[in-house]
Structure 1
Amino acid sequence: MKKKLILGSILSAAMLVTSACGGGGSDEITIGAQTYTDPKIIAHMVEALVEEQTDHEVKIIKDISASPQIISAMEQGEIQIATLYSGEVYNNHFGKDEVEFTTDPQKTLEQAQKLFNEKYDFTWFDSLGFQNKYTIAIKRDFAEKNNITKMSDLAPFADQLRLGTDSTWLERPNDGYRAFSKHYGFEFKDPKGMEVQLMYTGVENNELDVVTAYSVDPQIIQLDLKMLEDDKAFFPPFSASLVARNDMLEEYPDVKKIIESLTDTIDEETMTKLIYEVDINKRDEKEVALEYLKEQGLLK
């Protein structure tokens, strides 16, 4: 998911010192989190709830480079719980005859739940309530002036709009820029690939008009951007879910209940605000997670 390049080995040696259920019978549960902010916040939510409601201790390993590394570490019993995204089911974990590509969020989620359970012995829980997926975002004043709410509304203006995107999207064959242009029937003016932060700097400096954002990017709030509806269903869904090893859930059914209590509780607007607090306001991830749980009455 968040479309990071896969870097290095699965985990550093330091990460592998401690294993829990499925690797030695300890009461310690290990949660893995990728390099981006939403899985780190979710990990701290699970940590807080588990430690308040059970006798288990929780260890969080952060900054694992990508979701495939998370899956490998879970398979080996080095971590037991993580946040993953439904579109991961299309990321070469299964044969082409096993997976049917669809942009329908529920069908994608159901495939992830079935296939990861069968092959990896994981429970892929229902969505936490938000997606972290590609979207198109434009300046809000331009959107309101021209009554633009969905991606197809850009057609009359696209050849005048400067597009900034991360470089990989320009090159990807199936869900990248060329496929998008063909799907929607228009092309942007002079599309440029760049690092994500430079993309948002370009919008701020009036050098770009349109960007490929992720649906929970805090810069959407910071720069007052309008996220457009994917009305022709081009982008694959990436619904966030907690995923756990089945042997751990069988041994600790109280943890399963805690995970289930978080499903469908955090929508995209809420998660974007939580990430904003961490990435823009530079607050601690754990502090933000605990504050949210207390506001929702989930934590004392």
Structure 2
Amino acid sequence: MVLLWVTLAGCGLKSGSPMVDDVVPGSVGRGQPLDGASLTVTSKNFSENIVLGQMIGLVFKAAGAEVLDRTNLPGSISAREAIIKGGADAMYEYTGTAWITYLGHAKPIANPLMQWEAVRDEDRKNGVTWLPQSTLNNTYALAISKKNNAEYHLRTLSDVAALAKMDPAAVTICVENEFASRDDGLPGMEKAYGMSIPASNIRKMDAGIIYTQVSKSNSCLLGEVFTTDGRIKAMNLDVLVDDKHFFPNYNAAPVVHTATFDKYPEIADLLDPVSRRLTTEVAQQLNAKVDVDGEDPHEVAKDWLIAEGFIKKG
């Protein structure tokens, strides 16, 4: 999708492109409750979140709104700030990211529902409204190629810690910059498992490259992956069990700029049915269409919404 740069009077410079899809209500959006609304959707810059952001935009469009697409913003903070400040109206966010990275809590809440409730309640002060979460849990994991694992026989992260102590040179790991510095990422994992990976053995790179490096190269024994990623199966990787349950729950839920939600409370009725259908397995399938088959995230989102009956072609 082409990214346009549009100057809006009184709003400064905003990135985005209008959604021009000819879609109409299916099981959601009947009566077009957003007729006359102008809404902006956003997302982070990885496939799953882009697909989820596109879903919100398409549902809004079918419900009658004019929609500006500002998905694919770099990192987590850009999209977060857009929601807080009103530069965007809605996106899918992850409960663990909000609780730890945005709200500053060191210890996650193990129960997924209690985690969501705590985030919902605390984030109100920031002008962010959390709608009910999905069971889609995009949490962190480490993976190894089945070929390499035939030699090392790793099953859990505790096995990795044991290998790192016995043979520090063997444990090389590819990670994203963000994971390398987050409390709920590599530093916290090393502390929780009592493992110490030499800095020279940690290689930072874009997420998409990690899967290739782990599956087809010997430059990284292990790689940071996400549990909903479709490339895990496609690239023949073994995901290691987080046997100490270190990684938080990262359930995806719609978040809405509170002033927008106060004006259009119908948004909850539009997005709740969609969230109820989003599972980890569904995410793996949709992500594989983008990251393995090379399909466009917008079309993947649209095809799924139509197949589920949420919207229809106009």
- Aligning the two structures, in what range does the TM-score lie when normalised by the shorter sequence? 0.7 to 0.9
The Cα shift of 1:283 comes to: 1.2
Q: Does 1:293 align with 2:301?
A: no
Count how many residue pairs are aligned between Structure 1 and Structure 2: 279
Partners of 2:38 and 2:255 in 1: how far apart? Answer: 17
Partners of 1:207 and 1:235 in 2: how far apart? Answer: 25
Conserved? CA contact 1:103–1:234, under 8 Å: no
Q: Of the candidates 172, 177, 193, which is equivalent to residue 181 of structure 2?
A: 172
Change (3 A) 1:133 1:253: same
User: What's the secondary structure of 1:128's corresponding residue?
Assistant: coil
Partners of 2:211 and 2:36 in 1: how far apart? Answer: 45
Structure 2 partner of 1:228? 240
Structure 1 partner of 2:13? 13
Change (3 A) 1:258 1:282: same
Query: What residue identity is the alignment partner of 1:257?
Result: D
Structure 2 partner of 1:69? 78
Partners of 1:283 and 1:291 in 2: how far apart? Answer: 11
User: What's the secondary structure of 1:13's corresponding residue?
Assistant: strand
Structure 2 partner of 1:219? 231
Structure 2 partner of 1:114? 121
Structure 2 partner of 1:27? 37
Partners of 1:17 and 1:175 in 2: how far apart? Answer: 34
Change (3 A) 1:32 1:12: farther
Conserved? CA contact 2:90–2:257, under 8 Å: yes
Conserved? CA contact 2:211–2:225, under 8 Å: no
Conserved? CA contact 2:172–2:219, under 8 Å: no
User: What's the secondary structure of 2:138's corresponding residue?
Assistant: coil
Conserved? CA contact 1:103–1:235, under 8 Å: no
The Cα shift of 1:207 comes to: 3.8
Percentage of identical aligned residues: 20
Structure 2 partner of 1:21? none
Structure 2 partner of 1:283? 295
Partners of 2:76 and 2:291 in 1: how far apart? Answer: 20
1:75-154 equivalence runs, <5 A = 75-90=84-99, 93-94=102-103, 99=105, 101-104=107-110, 105-117=112-124, 119-140=125-146, 149-154=155-160
1:235-250 equivalence runs, <5 A = 235-250=247-262
Conserved? CA contact 1:125–1:263, under 8 Å: no
Residue-by-residue CA offset, 1:159-215 (whole Å, 9 max, x unaligned): 454332226478537445454334224456873313144433332124433212122
Residue-by-residue CA offset, 1:214-233 (whole Å, 9 max, x unaligned): 22334313311122231202
Partners of 2:137 and 2:13 in 1: how far apart? Answer: 32
The Cα shift of 1:85 comes to: 1.4
The Cα shift of 1:107 comes to: 3.6
User: What's the secondary structure of 2:91's corresponding residue?
Assistant: strand
User: What's the secondary structure of 1:213's corresponding residue?
Assistant: strand
Partners of 1:276 and 1:239 in 2: how far apart? Answer: 19
Structure 1 partner of 2:213? 202
Most deviating of 197-206 and 266-275: 197-206
What is the TM-score when the length of structure 2 is the normalising length?
A: 0.74
Partners of 1:116 and 1:275 in 2: how far apart? Answer: 28
User: What's the secondary structure of 1:64's corresponding residue?
Assistant: coil
Query: What residue identity is the alignment partner of 2:300?
Result: V
Partners of 2:101 and 2:190 in 1: how far apart? Answer: 25
The Cα shift of 1:281 comes to: 2.0
Most deviating of 278-287 and 194-203: 194-203
Query: What residue identity is the alignment partner of 1:281?
Result: D
User: What's the secondary structure of 1:264's corresponding residue?
Assistant: helix
Change (3 A) 1:81 1:236: same
RMSD (Å) for aligned C-alpha atoms: 3.3
Partners of 2:78 and 2:122 in 1: how far apart? Answer: 18
Change (3 A) 1:114 1:154: same
Conserved? CA contact 1:216–1:268, under 8 Å: yes
User: What's the secondary structure of 1:242's corresponding residue?
Assistant: strand
Conserved? CA contact 1:16–1:78, under 8 Å: no
Gaps of 5+ in 2: 1-10, 19-34
